[in-house]
A and B are shown apart, each in its own frame.
Chain A
């Protein structure tokens, strides 16, 4: 074994144990990883945030000297940009002016007209200030920064901004610094506002620029509260002349003393402007990011076969990103400060680190056997890929090491980051991603996998052939229609609408895209309305006479896009310059003008605004800095008289005096009230918005989820009569019509249907049994009810037919939902047990059965008064009494006669006891028909090609047989009194001359289902379980050697067929059992009157799942390999996932056709409708096709539906049957 092999094995084993560990303790490991990431990212907090905003540096003003050009030995706290002279020194004069005391005669305009007017005198003062001392005479003209031309972007404001001469900015610029223009301006506010941009903007405006303070704080507005006008005069100086500035300061202070001013004057702020990122630089960056995102997209797209694809993709991205952060953090921790532009190298780092390992891991893990334990799957997957992961990582490290030895500092740094990033990425993959993967795999249940597999994967083997070797069945007739199942890829599982909407959103990622589009639009609007950005957009050459700039300065590579964010940021932190109530009190009392509030912050605000002056007017600032000198505060008092004098004649046109009650007492309350009102307004607005939002959400909810989740039954809108059936999406597939084989012959409604695939036996209410060939539809035999051979001609019966017909039309709407299942016998029993439900009596076919039953169980002499013995509903009773005269002669039967056995058909009338008993249960196996009668008599008839003959009968029981099961050679009969009888059918081949009239043979007979008419058949009661149930047995099913009974006493019992031993009593229903399903695979499902469906494990007798599915009784139940189909009295067919018990979807049936459905194959469901049958794709809930069964059955609902083995469907339309050949099913698998 080579070293390589050994190493490989070691690595594999290590990964295996690691995988086990990760999958076993997911939460602690994730927590540990999170702590690690946070710890490693902690040093990042110290890193300065990248950005292009200006940086400030403050020095003392006292011992200021121009920093040397070359960096001195000790940088100290000085930033590296602080060297050499600044571009300019900014000197600001902060003016606060107010009219005091306020007078009632004054209009709001007066509050700022006169104070603003003072700016012109102040400007003259400053311009004309001359400082003379020993070194000479200096004026502002000599010192200030000269402007020769404006930026092209500012041409619009040519009239306002100083175009030539000193850069001196003040509100006077609005009026070209001319007092006359100001005085003749009828509307100051409009003049100020006309340059303001419309719409959304966050950047500074011209108003901010000229006033030097934020627009809100200028006080130049009609509804200013404090009536203090604030503005600045800003001058940009080229040289710093202490003496000139000092004299200017003292002069201004002397002229306009500013009391209480606490502006500190000892600090000088230097502001540095970084290089801005331009479009030209952005394009490659954006390109790399686009490539990066494409890479991530294509990588994560490959993740498949997991529960949450997006979750894993997110985890992968998180892994890579946090490993990057960790690498930067670690490098910082060990003293390596990143000097590279993080944004630029980041995409390359991601690409180098890559998502490959993550994908490989996922693929490897999901390809492990599904049935393994999650732990083992993770471990196996890890160890499978361990070698390649390690190899790849070693290769990458080698490549990076080679890069490290290029000895280029930038590349070395990149490599260093990449190495640390790779290692931390490996760490995160092993701990974080693996654990997330294990959680995800665990969440993925087996059901998800099952759903993905083709439906055929779990199909039982093909059904055995026909039971008896009869004449070869005719070839299946060519079916006129074909149903094509779509390929599984194109089919969607039928999902609730809300889920479909959510899935749609998720699939198209609509929300993301909307947010993205919104952000882009927002940014676009911001850019568009950003005046600074607009102004600087053209950004032509600055032609500024700048002796400082030297040769290279005017043509610095300045990006044309103004970074919209940074001035905004500084502006937003502007202090609120509103005076407190105390201040306004001062004012109103005629006191002094309030001091400049919060001088330091105010100055910061002012300066940041002023920065923009330079920003806008000259682009020399890039990579340079300016120095802002301490502000000179100036205060003006304006008396009301002066204010009145300067008033423009048109000023009074404006709004009446703002303060109707300017009394000193009222004013202090004004402001709080105002703020309160604002608060209330905001609150009310918020409340309204909230209510609106709630309403909107509610509407959305109603729209998306119109269903009521609180109740089990899904309330579909019922289809109206004549509507085409359609599926939930409103899709109505092509409707076709075929002419079914009509099996006519019954005079009354068919109650029982039984079939073995080749033959079909039906029994009508009159007790007539007809046997049909399921292939051709020929009626082979008619077994009339004994004593009613003349049924078609009997006047009484005719009469009753008419009565029935009337009842049908009357009652069908009442209780039509009461379909009959194949057993058909449960209903009278249940009715009797629950007589308090009179509506159930409306079911017309059972009504007759009831009448028959009454005569069967009571002496015939009491027949006329039979009706009193039962608790009929009023309606029925009336109808019954109405026809009593005609009924009674028919029912006044002769006394019972001795039991006759082995009568043949040819013999004369059946025993009189028989004819008044109805057939309650019918079973067909081979060519034997077992019929259970209401009298408790069990008959086994033999069918042959010509005649139906009664081969044996058993009349041991006294209680009516409610259900029959015929399995192999055993017949199980459940009786009304709750007892269960097991019969054995013995067949003796007659020997030679022995007539079949002879005594019953005793010979043994293999339990072959094939009987010939020569056989002697005996039916013997082998065992009778007397008290199988406390209450009448309603359902009986037998399969797989088990007999399952369901009863009114809420229990289900499981018996073994061979020895009739009771294995389990299953309790779990809270109502009588109405439906049971059991098949060869020992699946047992039961449904009860409580609408519940239980799934049981037949081997252990435990309940597997329990769901409430229907409002009212469960009428029928069928299980397939993957789902359970149930129908209820609420005319719904529900399809449940068998393993999880989750309702997949439901189908609303036409009234009265609730229980008529059948399963053709594992994926094809057929339901009956109004004169039609519909085919559904069971797995996906799609309506495939609706077939109308000809004009004859128009308007009649399918009451029963039996699926035969040869894929024919028998529909029960009242008294006639329709034999429909299923359109052949083409299942395309791919």
Chain B
């Protein structure tokens, strides 16, 4: 896919093959998915941490700061585009369990990890962190198993945690829960799992482009 394929007649193929349009479509999709997941997962966290619950359900979806979902969306778009890009740079596209059902399973497990962190009562923070870490690593092993995925996941999780902490220190973002360390403990694991998930979705989306380009090279 590196070489530029001249667009041919047939608008559909051309649109797919058109790199920038395809990229934009993928980015938009990933952005929307990220926003959606951020809203839903935020709701879970809100349920967990809030004792004074606002009665209006729909308002509570947007209870956190307004810029959080777009940030999450942007981040997921970047991650989802970055993963196939790195795959391409490393040579082979990711082949392990590349099908939508597997991706769906991955998303479900990711939501489940969030659910567990929100709903399950853990004895202490260390237990929570260890459990979540094990679950995240399990997620990677089950659905990714690529070194690039692992490395990228760690890096982005680290960066994201750092950013969040900076935000919190500067007062731009606050957790409702007073337990500060508690929040920090689960954050990297969630970030890691999210990175793996979004990467999986991004790779799956990129598969279409890859396939089309392959077919075209066959035809040529």
Contacts and interface: CB of A to CB of B under 8 A. Distances in A.
B101 interface: yes
Interface string A927-944: 000000000000000000
Interface stretch (B5-13, B50-58, B182-190): B50-58
B40 A295 contact: no
Contacts of B207: none
Contacts of B53: 280, 557
A648 B99 CA distance: 78
Given A410-B121, A558-B55, A291 B60 contact: no
Given A288-B115, A408-B131, A354 B40 contact: no
Contact of A406 (B46, B99, B109, B130): B130
Contact of A288 (B46, B58, B111): B111
A298 B100 contact: yes
A84 B111 CA distance: 39
Contacts of A301: 101
A376 interface: no
B108 A347 contact: yes
Nearest to B110: A291
A294 interface: yes
B40 A560 contact: no
A418 B105 CA distance: 15
A954 to B, nearest CB: 64
A708 to B, nearest CB: 45
A284 B55 contact: no
A616 to B, nearest CB: 16
A560 B108 contact: no
B123 interface: yes
Given A280-B57, A411-B131, A298 B121 contact: no
A284 B40 contact: yes
B138 A351 contact: no
A347 B41 CA distance: 16
Contact of B138 (A354, A399, A409, A560): A399
Interface in A1145-1178: none
A865 B38 CA distance: 105
Given A347-B108, A555-B52, A408 B115 contact: no
Interface in A323-361: 344, 347-348, 351, 354-355, 359
A559 B40 CA distance: 18
A406 B131 contact: yes
Contacts of A347: 108, 112
B105 A351 contact: yes
Contacts of A999: none
Contact of B44 (A284, A354, A399, A557): A284
Contacts of A540: 55
Contacts of B104: 291, 294-295, 298
B: contact size bracket: 35 or more
A369 interface: no
Say what secondary structure dominates the interface of chain B: helix
Nearest to B50: A557
B55 A411 contact: no
Interface string A542-575: 0000000000000101111100000000000000
A279 B46 CA distance: 13
A283 interface: yes
Given A351-B109, A408-B120, A408-B127, A283 B61 contact: yes
B43 interface: yes
Interface in B95-123: 99-101, 103-105, 107-109, 111-112, 115-116, 119-123
B120 A411 contact: yes
A493 to B, nearest CB: 27
Interface in B25-66: 40-41, 43-44, 46-47, 51-53, 55-58, 60-61
Contacts of B40: 283-284, 287
A265 to B, nearest CB: 40
Contacts of B52: 555
Interface in A1091-1138: none
Contacts of A656: none
A227 B44 CA distance: 56
B168 interface: no
B37 to A, nearest CB: 8
Given A288-B115, A351-B109, A408-B131, A539 B100 contact: no
B122 A408 contact: yes
- Residue of B52, B108, B121 most packed against chain A (CB within 10 A): B108
B112 A408 contact: no
B159 interface: no
A282 B47 CA distance: 11
B127 A406 contact: yes
B145 to A, nearest CB: 12
Contacts of A351: 105, 108-109, 112
A399 B123 CA distance: 21
A355 B46 CA distance: 33
Contacts of A298: 99-101, 103-104
B166 interface: no
Nearest to B103: A298
- Residue of A287, A409, A410 most packed against chain B (CB within 10 A): A287
A120 to B, nearest CB: 37
Contacts of A280: 43, 46-47, 53, 57, 60-61
A391 B41 CA distance: 33
B134 interface: yes
A1112 to B, nearest CB: 51
23 contacts: A278-B57, A279-B58, A280-B61, A284-B115, A288-B115, A294-B100, A295-B105, A298-B104, A344-B119, A348-B109, A355-B101, A399-B138, A403-B135, A406-B127, A408-B123, A410-B116, A410-B119, A410-B120, A539-B55, A540-B55, A559-B55, A560-B56, A560-B57
Given A344-B115, A557-B51, 7 more contacts: A284-B43, A284-B47, A287-B40, A291-B108, A298-B103, A402-B134, A558-B55
In order of increasing CB-CB distance, the 9 nearest A-B pairs are A279-B57, A295-B104, A298-B101, A557-B53, A298-B100, A299-B101, A410-B120, A351-B108, A348-B112
